[in-house]
Structure 1
Amino acid sequence: MDNDSNDSMEWKKYSQSIHGNVVKTSGEIENIIPVRLEGGSLHNCAERDDRRNHAVLIMQKNQTLCFRGKCHLTCLYGRVEVMGFTIEEGQQSYPLFSPASHCPLTIRALENSDQTRDDKTEASSILKKYLTSASRKKLLKNVTSNSSIILLEPMETPLTRFLSSFTDLSELFSPPVSELMSAVLDTPLNGLGMIPLVGAIEGLKMSKSYRQALNMVVGACRGPPFTHQTPPEHMIHFGHTSCETDLERYLESLKTLWRRRSPSRETTVVINTMGWVKGFGFQLLVDMIRFFPVSHVVQLSHSGVTQCPSMTPEFLRTAHGHQTHPPAVTALDEFTESHSPPKSYTHVIVQSEFQGAGRQGTAKHQRTNELRELSLLGYLSQLQSPDPGPIRPLHTLTPYQVPQSAVALGVIHCEVVPSHMFYAANASLVALCCIGEKVSSKGGPVLLSQAPICPCVGFDPSILRNVNCLLLGAISLPSCILTTQMPYITKDYSFDLTGAGKLRVFKGLTRPSQMGN
């Protein structure tokens, strides 16, 4: 965000803590021709220790491993890159997720930073800790000055166990049908939860413009969003999958969230906007760039076409937003009393070179509603025990109980008559929120006539005592929870009963108002 924060001590300490985890500068970026590790080559450069259930892989500069599955990766020697993030020896192990819902993940070996090392001696000492004598000798033949040695271990977490308990998600970390013919099923890595893919399948492709933008904003990616959720510092519950239903509430929610940040804490903030870039969605983007003190705007494009006008500072001076209309920007003036957004910013365009960009994937778990369900299931998986064992269905967990008079109940985006409020909330997802005023009643439920914009705290046990408002939005529980874990849906149901079947729409009928005399 503001330029001064880039020089803050906190950011400098973070940069030093991940020494080397940056991409090449724009002057050093090269055209990389990767070499895919597949088939027989994997047998020659990978060995597995069945007793300790891990594998060691030797990779040469610019060799890549594209795979489906999940694992822990530790760099024992040299350097490798995953999604633009450099992992070096001496660093912690990193979890890698490559589910069927996203583009296959690719590991790429980088050039060794120190060409003066005694490769064979150091490598032999490293391999001795992880492999038997025969396996060490086989792999040692492949070690050169540009080799990287990585340790791959299986990964099982409450998240993966919880997701795998649902029938529809049991194959989430396996290759989809479209990739099965390209999967290599007989390598030392398969038993660890990794399935390598041959060159016919395109993994994540980082274009030159992507690398330049990544270097400019000093960004780092972790993988699919549902796999690495962390508690937010502040959160506002909007309660709908699309902001089109209430543009005003969406913008006011963003402003409220921004006001809750700590002004004294200098940190870099990345605003990840949505993919709606036409019509009202474009107007929202214009407002957001005006409202917040951005220093960089990164615009993503594909197929050589810009999906919306180029969001340059010059264009923004005359563009009309939803709440801001030059030259009068009343909404902006009211919001920016406490800060002065810069008059200019750096505009960066990233042009994707991935062949499938902009097209709906054919595999399962790639549609937007499926990705939202995965994120919600990933969040709910935090309720599972970290210890290995059977999955506990959500309705078997011990619930928290509070009197009706202690919390207010409100509905967002629609109107519900008071007498039907509890019917609407039954078996539904609600946001645990905190409103400023004290909730009190004479014993009955407290029903809000209008849903407020207020902080949402999730189910963090340490702050649940502050919750005094439940907001019901238009976000429904994933169907797999209702059909698999909760006793709300049954197959023993008679569709012969009056009103039990689905509604039938007779489009050919003439309405009474359309009938003549």
Structure 2
Amino acid sequence: MADVTGYGKDSPGRLGWTRLRRARSPLGVGRRTRRRARSLAVGSQRRLRLRLQQAEAAGVAWLDEGDAAGALVVGADWGSREKKARKKKARRRERAERERERREREEQRLEREREEREWRRLRELPARRHEDADGDERAAPAPSAPAPRRQAEGPEQPPRAPGPAQPVLVRAKAGLLLLLNHAQTFTFTGKCRMTCLYGRVQVFGFIVSQAQPAYDLYSPHTNCALTIEAISYMMPEKSLKDMKLEIRSLIKDHLSSANVFHVIKQFSPMGSIILLESLETPATGFILSYSAFSHLFSGKKQEMSSSFNLEQLTMSSIGIKKCEEERGFHLSESSSSAIEELITACCEEIDGCPIIMACGPKCIGKSTFNRYLINQLLNSVPCVDFLDCDLGQTEFTPPGCVSLSNVTEPIFGPPFTHQRKTRKMVFYGDSSCEDDCKKYTEIVKYVFSAYQREAPLIINTMGWVKGDGLLLLIDLIRMLGPTHIVQFSSEQCHDMPLLTAEYTAGMAGLQTKGKTKTKNRHLDSTESGDPDEGSQPHSAGHKLLLVQSEFPGAGVAQLTQWHSPVLRDMALLGYLALLQPPEAKPFFPLHHLVPFQIPFSSVALRVIHTDVAPTHTMYTVNASWIGLCRILDDVKQKTDGPVFLTDNPVCDCVGFGIIRGISMVKKVYYVLTPLSHEKLRHVNCLMIGNITIPHCIFKSQPKIEGEIPYVTSEYNFTIWGSGKLRVRKLLQRREYL
């Protein structure tokens, strides 16, 4: 072969050529073969050497005898060299893997040390603040008001610990696990059941800590969205490792092992872990069974048909939807300062339990402010009394009532979600008191007499503050004697004068007179008050707190999406949901429920909102909303017919119901009510007012063939006492869902 070159160690080459060079092969190859050997793999090079050796065995004498003997030895030793090379590569990979693991362990150690330093610094922060406070007191001693208990439980503004910028959502076995760092928020719409597994959060003013029971959260589109905010808490006397072991034991029953590791890795100091579960209650289920309110929590139909990402699908599985933080509840600066002052006054109780009255025009935010204030007070006091004087937008009862309630649980929803038993309640029978203000003041005075002054009292008033409404409000201020008045206003609404103590004392009310002369403030020398109760002295005055409502449309009822009649219908449906049997799915329509039979001789009837002839009273009573009341006088029956009252008594209302039918043969009323047999025995009066049953109950009666009962278009409206049901065209004019 021409141009043959020795295959020696001085020739350059790649990895394959290097192996051949180390073998010190005496074989001779041509230039083309040498170039090809450089790009061959180990197996190809072995086959090339085998072919060359076979060629020599065939008689091709390229080498002398000494070099040929060396070549045979190299060929025999080729396999052992290849094994050594593979072992060397494996050892290099193992060293690289061990080095990578060492670096990871070092990074984890540094991270733990950093978290431990942060943990110790946060834990020492309260002690430093107490030392600074003691030093300030020694330098300049001055009396200070005691702070509420919730502000003394931990640092107010600790430094934010490092962690994810957004709340962490993890799919749990029976819900959703929410991981919040300090000061992080989660705003949502829908309904769910919340349990605080670790840490401390605040929801609509109420603080929920670890080991507290689960709370039901309702965030419909009729109100501002609820926000869960992680707040500071006392740092435990444990190391970070011990705390993570505790967290692992708390969440391991709710998550898989992989998700547990993910949550532990994302946890940081001052963080909170929340469990959100699906919530189904009879009240919401009964309301959602009607098509008009079926999207009360889920939103509009067009929003439901849009594409969802994985996070939205995870949240929708438990019935919630994340929304912008701007849709949540936000306190204005004036509201925040007023609440702080009211909480301080309730915690001190220097002059007894404070009486707080909220007043202002319609749609100004009084009800929302009252709920938030109740939740804030429950962080410091065991209970709060609530006097509801607003007939149209009641809080704990169906509309048309004046009631006194003792609140011991936080409020996390609109009125239709927390219809509850009251301490004292009177059925006025209308959503407005313009027709009979004297009776209204008598009812308020009667209900207020049940207040025992053992807890702070919050008074909710009507939005009627023009003309006679303002004069009536001044009468209520004189009669109830509040210690604090919270007056609401907005940029679009400036109808009310400032209700200062001097103004209310000198201004004449609708039924009371103003102050005419004052000789000595320490002597009772004023001529004012109710003519029937002239001996009742004036209160010592009140403190006025001004609140500026800053949300869009504040004080303008025409800009609200959900009008007052719709909210009243939902409150009525929330009360009627108590008729449903436990675990009833699907929900029974009202005409499928078994009513009570009340004899004519055991109860008296009274239509309180208008005058009706006795011969037509039974037509008015049938298919009407009634108040089940208790009067002091015994029902006297002279005949076997119904008993009618001649006046409107001020008496206790036990509950409510619907007269489903009347049997003139059996002399009984068929009444649907959630009251028990024991409470129904105390009822001896049925009062019919101007509160109408929601139209959806009449129109949505399944399994009815032909004409729907109690729904007709042909009726003689000239009969005395009859009248059409008011058609609410505003639902057709405005966006309803």
Q: Compute the TM-score of the two structures, normalised by the length of structure 2.
A: 0.58
- 277-286 vs 214-223, which moves further: 214-223
- Contact between 1:78 and 1:89, CA under 8 Å: does it hold in 2? yes
221, 232, 244: which is aligned to 2:422? 232
- Secondary structure (helix, strand or coil) at the match of 1:317 reads helix
Alignment of 1:472 onto 2:677: no
652, 657, 662: which is aligned to 1:455? 652
Alignment of 1:374 onto 2:570: yes
Tell me, in whole angstroms, the C-alpha distance in 1 between the residues paired with 2:471 and 2:156.
35
Can you list the C-alpha shifts for 1:440-463, whole angstroms capped at 9, x where unaligned?
Answer: 222111112222222111053232
308, 315, 336: which is aligned to 1:189? 315
Compared CA separation, residues 332 and 431, structure 1 to 2 (3 A): same
Identity percentage over the alignment? 36
Alignment of 1:354-393 (within 5 A): 354-360=551-557, 366-393=562-589
Aligned residues: 466
Structure 1 residue 136 displacement after superposition: 1.5
- Contact between 2:505 and 2:514, CA under 8 Å: does it hold in 1? yes
Alignment of 1:72-151 (within 5 A): 72-114=193-235, 117=238, 118=240, 119-151=243-275
Tell me, in whole angstroms, the C-alpha distance in 2 between the residues paired with 1:492 and 1:110.
55
Structure 1 residue 257 displacement after superposition: 1.3
Structure 1 residue 105 displacement after superposition: 1.4
The equivalent residue for 2:135 is: none
Structure 1 residue 417 displacement after superposition: 0.8
Alignment of 1:144-293 (within 5 A): 144-176=268-300, 186-187=310-311, 188-199=314-325, 201-218=326-343, 219-221=373-375, 222=411, 223-259=413-449, 261=450, 263=452, 266-293=454-481
406, 409, 412: which is aligned to 2:602? 406
Can you list the C-alpha shifts for 1:279-309, whole angstroms capped at 9, x where unaligned?
Answer: 2221121111110132221222233865411
Compared CA separation, residues 495 and 212, structure 1 to 2 (3 A): closer
The equivalent residue for 1:59 is: 180
Compared CA separation, residues 479 and 112, structure 1 to 2 (3 A): same
Structure 1 residue 210 displacement after superposition: 2.2
395, 400, 403: which is aligned to 2:591? 395
Compared CA separation, residues 388 and 105, structure 1 to 2 (3 A): same
Structure 1 regions of 5+ residues with no counterpart?
Answer: 1-18, 504-517
The equivalent residue for 2:90 is: none
Compared CA separation, residues 283 and 172, structure 1 to 2 (3 A): same
Tell me, in whole angstroms, the C-alpha distance in 1 between the residues paired with 2:166 and 2:306.
15
Can you list the C-alpha shifts for 1:360-384, whole angstroms capped at 9, x where unaligned?
Answer: 58786x1100111111111111111
Structure 1 residue 216 displacement after superposition: 3.5
Tell me, in whole angstroms, the C-alpha distance in 2 between the residues paired with 1:332 and 1:493.
45
Compared CA separation, residues 289 and 363, structure 1 to 2 (3 A): closer
Compared CA separation, residues 336 and 297, structure 1 to 2 (3 A): farther
Structure 1 residue 355 displacement after superposition: 3.0
Compared CA separation, residues 72 and 361, structure 1 to 2 (3 A): farther
Can you list the C-alpha shifts for 1:193-243, whole angstroms capped at 9, x where unaligned?
Answer: 1111135x5211122332333333343241211111211111111100111
- Contact between 1:22 and 1:84, CA under 8 Å: does it hold in 2? no
Structure 1 residue 122 displacement after superposition: 3.3
Amino acid at match of 1:143: F
- Contact between 1:112 and 1:147, CA under 8 Å: does it hold in 2? no
Higher Cα Rg: structure 1 or 2?
2
Q: Over aligned residues, Cα RMSD in angstroms?
A: 3.5
155, 170, 175: which is aligned to 1:47? 170
Structure 1 residue 185 displacement after superposition: 6.0
Alignment of 1:427 onto 2:581: no
- Contact between 1:184 and 1:196, CA under 8 Å: does it hold in 2? no
- Contact between 1:291 and 1:335, CA under 8 Å: does it hold in 2? no
- Contact between 1:239 and 1:474, CA under 8 Å: does it hold in 2? yes
- Secondary structure (helix, strand or coil) at the match of 2:489 reads strand
Structure 1 residue 167 displacement after superposition: 1.1
Alignment of 1:439 onto 2:640: no
Amino acid at match of 2:464: W
Tell me, in whole angstroms, the C-alpha distance in 2 between the residues paired with 1:151 and 1:301.
39
Compared CA separation, residues 386 and 82, structure 1 to 2 (3 A): same
The equivalent residue for 1:6 is: none
- Secondary structure (helix, strand or coil) at the match of 1:73 reads strand
Amino acid at match of 2:641: G
Tell me, in whole angstroms, the C-alpha distance in 1 between the residues paired with 2:209 and 2:316.
24
Structure 2 regions of 5+ residues with no counterpart?
Answer: 1-146, 344-372, 376-410, 517-526, 657-674, 718-722, 725-737
- 458-467 vs 171-180, which moves further: 171-180
Amino acid at match of 1:472: I
Tell me, in whole angstroms, the C-alpha distance in 2 between the residues paired with 1:63 and 1:252.
49
Structure 1 residue 79 displacement after superposition: 1.5
The equivalent residue for 2:530 is: 332
Report which structure shows greater RCO (CA 8 Å, sep ≥6). Answer: 1
Tell me, in whole angstroms, the C-alpha distance in 1 between the residues paired with 2:599 and 2:710.
35
- Contact between 2:169 and 2:178, CA under 8 Å: does it hold in 1? yes
Tell me, in whole angstroms, the C-alpha distance in 1 between the residues paired with 2:644 and 2:588.
33
Q: Compute the TM-score of the two structures, normalised by the length of structure 1.
A: 0.81
- Secondary structure (helix, strand or coil) at the match of 2:317 reads helix
Tell me, in whole angstroms, the C-alpha distance in 2 between the residues paired with 1:208 and 1:385.
46
- Secondary structure (helix, strand or coil) at the match of 1:113 reads coil
Tell me, in whole angstroms, the C-alpha distance in 2 between the residues paired with 1:21 and 1:74.
22
Tell me, in whole angstroms, the C-alpha distance in 2 between the residues paired with 1:82 and 1:333.
47
Compared CA separation, residues 274 and 148, structure 1 to 2 (3 A): same
The structure carrying a bigger helix percent of its residues is 2
Compared CA separation, residues 495 and 327, structure 1 to 2 (3 A): closer
Compared CA separation, residues 494 and 472, structure 1 to 2 (3 A): closer
